[in-house]
Structure 1
Amino acid sequence: MDVADLGLPVDVPSTALFTDQYEFTMLQAALKAGTAERHCVFEVFTRRLPDGRRYGVVAGTGRVLDAVENFRFDADVLRFLGERNIVDAETLDWLASYRFSGDIWGYPEGEVYFPGSPIMRVEGSFAECVLLETVILSILNHDSAIAAAASRMSSAAGGRPLIEMGARRTHELAAVAASRAAYLGGFASTSDLAAGFRYNIPTVGTSAHAFTLLHDQERDAFQAQVNSLGRGTTLLVDTYDVAEAVRAAVEVAGPELGAVRIDSGDLLLVAHRVRQQLDELGARDTKIIVTSDLDEYAIASLAAAPVDAYGVGTQLVTGSGHPTCSMVYKLVARAESADVKAPLVPVAKKSSGGKTSIGGRKWAARRLDADGIAEAEVVGTGAVPADLVDRQLLVELVKSGDVVAREPLDVVRERHTAARDGLPLSATQLSRGEPVIPTEYVHGRSGSQ
């Protein structure tokens, strides 16, 4: 079987194996039972926010849309599934022509969310929807965790630029996704060129300590960098003695020196000393960039320091202690039969242990107070209350298998800023607390979005 026979572009990698095996065992069993074609509604949500977080950030939606489009079973994938006896021949035949033909609704990327928010709703036959579970959760859980950390750091930075530089602290592919999520959450640039290439994120970078150590004298390293990159470059000044390095940097580049970077020590104290020294040397416009294992708390502690920008790596790409959002993908409604006119029946897991779900296709809206600030996340089934019709959050992302809501990343980034600004002021506090607004549930008997 040739890849071209399946309609899969040879230059687009399939996402079909970014999944767990049990998705295929369920598919095979459902095909044999005659239930695979029942219309189903799956929803992505989280039962709680990571400990201490006041809001979540929806990120990765654009990557989910790409993954759904490229969820195809080419000859090599089908051969692998057959040789491993993961599915039988009848299921392989069904997979060979797989194309998601259903509908996907979701919170627009960059929006904030809360416990119970139906972040994404996937509708179609059980067979075509169940296969997408793992890849959707993988993307949303990772990207939303990074975006939430980035949003907190951006808020703590108070308008000062943030540089994402965590590529060396995570998997090479995860680093690209993390850069995208960080930019969405408020970061200004990335050091990762793959992210710059793929998502048009501004890229930055100058030199590391190795470049200084390569040269016989620190001044030689500074001179080489200025000769190559110009006086507007950023010189790393903490390889040996910071004060001596700052003096040499200004002597080499002059007062037009773009910036100095500090990567160690007591950043608050060192930044004040460096600022004073730069001013005394006439380099009043030279900026100070600090790095060194920063997180939102360290950034907030430097609010009074003469720092112009922050570079963040490890803590960002690991979600600042919360590398996942614990989102789940649950069946909430299914048709009584495979008949296209069969009514939907709400279904939900009812086990104990804090893992219960609420059945039924959900809508979601955000109720505002008199000042236009969010006061509650309202999630319901059935008809939407009249006063919330214009405040609904879910938008159509995929219609009958076709993506209908792809957006530029800058639009998503702006949406997040607006969404965060629409929350109560306490949302940006770094102290631990409950979600900044409550989630309220409304149960209706009829109606749908």
Structure 2
Amino acid sequence: MNAADLGLPVDVPSTALFTDQYELTMLQAALRGGTADRRSVFEVFTRRLPEGRRYGVLAGVGRVLDAVENFRFDPAVLDFLRERAIVDGPTLEWLSRYRFSGDVWGYPEGEVYFPGSPVLRVEGSFAECVLLETVILSILNHDSAIAAAASRMSAVAGGRGLIEMGARRTHELAAVAASRAAYVGGFDSTSDLAAGFRYGIPTVGTSAHAFTLLHDSEKDAFRAQVESLGRGTTLLVDTYDVAEAVRTAVEVAGPELGAVRIDSGDLLLVAHRVRAQLDELGARDTRIVVTSDLDEYAIASLAAAPVDAYGVGTQLVTGSGHPTCSMVYKLVARAASADPKAPLVPVAKKSLGGKASVGGRKWAARRTDAAGVAEAEVVGTGPVPPELADRQLLVRLVEGGQVVGREPLEAARSRHIAARAGLPMSAVQLSRGEPVLPTEYA
């Protein structure tokens, strides 16, 4: 299965320059020193979750696979490197032939993770693996941060609709990735058409305050919108006076009015008043959508309000205060020599300040209790204990340079819902605390 089979764009440009210069200078030195071909194992993990978070959500795996597949040095890229004298001639020649030919294993997209979880493992020669560090971390750190925020919002929304609408609050390309990550984390739709086009995410949208202000009266604006979009549309009712707008909305659209949107004020109080007014006017099936700088705490505070859906922008696309997951990409094992049959030797950074890592090619499994609820993240380098054999988390994503783990986005979204449901109930509490599962090293 490839991108075309899933209806994804196939004209993705090269991702080779989504990297830091030192990746290429390390490559040059390794080529000259004769170590570039040593078999190596790199792993992606985080040493800690953002403060107060109980679990992480892995998102961006599908985008990583696209990036690896399109990581190539075409003539324009090579000319740039040559003109800037970033690497020497032999290295340019090596890069001109570059195609990743190794293996990638990882947690499937949508899975939850904890400190030390080896969410991605990249295996191949040192040269081909080291080049992928920056682009992999760039994608996973961004997307997983958004997905974690989305998951927290989804958990407290209690099944009410969630609309991602943060495109105007971030970089235009980041907005598309954020929409995708939010969908993995539990959001239902997006206002961003590029995300809908690229990833098939449901899109929604009606009107802003500018549309009401354009018209001579609120009634004229509502009438124009209903005549164009039908009675099932959503009318924005807080441009002037909310109570008057609700009366006008029902007068224009009738009790079949689809929804009203509230974008300001005391949302809890206003939602209750609007619900009572709609019911009195016979519009009992008209839904209430609220927006206005929402985050997971604001959504939780509206649990008792008669709200049917939430639109979230700024806080979602910025990770609700944590725009990165602090994931790192570390060499954890390498061959004892250049001999292709040489055994792997565990390696690890030893340093001050909590930045040490654990060496060795790792597996990961999630132990559960008798009720099937997760109780520990178990990470090891030796044989997998028999009782954890069917609980392993890593799956093959790339084999011999060929992507084998691509899947529809819906699969990642469904997986996340199931993974979150398998955690202890305290995982979705908004109160600060330690990771809901301990990480145990076997």
**Which residue in 2 is equivalent to 1:337?**
337
Aligned equivalents of 1:235, 1:372: Cα separation in 2: 45
Aligned equivalents of 2:394, 2:288: Cα separation in 1: 42
2:357 is the alignment partner of 1:361: no
**Which residue in 2 is equivalent to 1:47?**
47
Aligned equivalents of 2:10, 2:154: Cα separation in 1: 40
Matches within 5 A, 1:199-238: 199-238=199-238
2:100 is the alignment partner of 1:97: no
Letter in 2 for 1:216: D
Aligned equivalents of 2:65, 2:387: Cα separation in 1: 31
Letter in 1 for 2:61: T
Q: 1:255 to 1:104 in 2, by over 3 A?
A: same
Matches within 5 A, 1:122-201: 122-201=122-201
Aligned equivalents of 2:417, 2:236: Cα separation in 1: 32
Aligned equivalents of 2:214, 2:162: Cα separation in 1: 28
Letter in 2 for 1:285: D
TM-score scaled by structure 2?
0.98
Q: Could you report, residue by residue, the CA deviation over 1:92-111 in whole angstroms, capped at 9, with x for unpaired residues?
A: 00000100000000001110
Aligned equivalents of 2:384, 2:286: Cα separation in 1: 56
Aligned equivalents of 1:282, 1:387: Cα separation in 2: 59
2:316 is the alignment partner of 1:319: no
1:337 deviates by 1.4
Aligned equivalents of 1:57, 1:340: Cα separation in 2: 36
Letter in 2 for 1:403: V
SS of the equivalent of 2:49 reads: coil
1:338 deviates by 1.4
Letter in 2 for 1:354: G
Q: Could you report, residue by residue, the CA deviation over 1:113-170 in whole angstroms, capped at 9, with x for unpaired residues?
A: 0000000000000000000000000000000000000000000100001000000000
SS of the equivalent of 1:320 reads: coil
Aligned equivalents of 1:385, 1:85: Cα separation in 2: 51
Q: Could you report, residue by residue, the CA deviation over 1:372-428 in whole angstroms, capped at 9, with x for unpaired residues?
A: 000000001111111111111000000000000110011110000000000000000
Aligned equivalents of 1:390, 1:189: Cα separation in 2: 34
SS of the equivalent of 1:154 reads: helix
SS of the equivalent of 1:222 reads: helix
Q: Could you report, residue by residue, the CA deviation over 1:57-89 in whole angstroms, capped at 9, with x for unpaired residues?
A: 010000000000000110000000010011011
Q: Could you report, residue by residue, the CA deviation over 1:239-263 in whole angstroms, capped at 9, with x for unpaired residues?
A: 0000010000000000000000000
1:10 deviates by 9.7
**Which residue in 2 is equivalent to 1:447?**
none
**Which residue in 1 is equivalent to 2:270?**
270
**Which residue in 2 is equivalent to 1:26?**
26
**Which residue in 1 is equivalent to 2:310?**
310
Aligned equivalents of 2:86, 2:167: Cα separation in 1: 35
Aligned equivalents of 1:295, 1:135: Cα separation in 2: 29
**Which residue in 2 is equivalent to 1:431?**
431
SS of the equivalent of 1:168 reads: helix
SS of the equivalent of 1:364 reads: strand
**Which residue in 1 is equivalent to 2:4?**
none
Aligned equivalents of 1:226, 1:343: Cα separation in 2: 70
Aligned equivalents of 1:266, 1:377: Cα separation in 2: 42
**Which residue in 1 is equivalent to 2:300?**
300
Matches within 5 A, 1:280-295: 280-295=280-295
Aligned equivalents of 1:176, 1:301: Cα separation in 2: 28
**Which residue in 2 is equivalent to 1:260?**
260
SS of the equivalent of 1:279 reads: helix
**Which residue in 2 is equivalent to 1:13?**
13
Letter in 1 for 2:41: V
**Which residue in 2 is equivalent to 1:69?**
69
How many residue pairs get matched?
434
Quick one: percent identity of the two aligned structures?
85
SS of the equivalent of 2:370 reads: coil
**Which residue in 2 is equivalent to 1:247?**
247
SS of the equivalent of 2:396 reads: strand
1:336 deviates by 1.4
Q: Could you report, residue by residue, the CA deviation over 1:256-314 in whole angstroms, capped at 9, with x for unpaired residues?
A: 00000000000000000000000011101000000000000000000000000000000
Q: Could you report, residue by residue, the CA deviation over 1:29-55 in whole angstroms, capped at 9, with x for unpaired residues?
A: 000000000000000000000000000
Letter in 1 for 2:39: H
Aligned equivalents of 2:91, 2:109: Cα separation in 1: 34
Q: 1:160 to 1:215 in 2, by over 3 A?
A: same
Letter in 2 for 1:214: L
1:11 deviates by 3.5
Letter in 1 for 2:433: G
**Which residue in 2 is equivalent to 1:445?**
none
1:352 deviates by 0.9
Aligned equivalents of 2:384, 2:317: Cα separation in 1: 38
Letter in 2 for 1:371: A
Aligned equivalents of 1:307, 1:261: Cα separation in 2: 10
**Which residue in 2 is equivalent to 1:375?**
375
**Which residue in 2 is equivalent to 1:6?**
none
Aligned equivalents of 1:171, 1:76: Cα separation in 2: 25
SS of the equivalent of 2:320 reads: helix
SS of the equivalent of 1:99 reads: coil
**Which residue in 2 is equivalent to 1:403?**
403
Letter in 2 for 1:195: A
Aligned equivalents of 1:95, 1:10: Cα separation in 2: 22
SS of the equivalent of 2:183 reads: helix
TM-score scaled by structure 1?
0.96
Aligned equivalents of 1:365, 1:56: Cα separation in 2: 16
Aligned equivalents of 1:87, 1:56: Cα separation in 2: 38
**Which residue in 1 is equivalent to 2:5?**
none
**Which residue in 2 is equivalent to 1:56?**
56
Letter in 1 for 2:101: S
Aligned equivalents of 1:363, 1:10: Cα separation in 2: 32
Letter in 1 for 2:371: D
SS of the equivalent of 2:204 reads: coil
1:12 deviates by 2.9
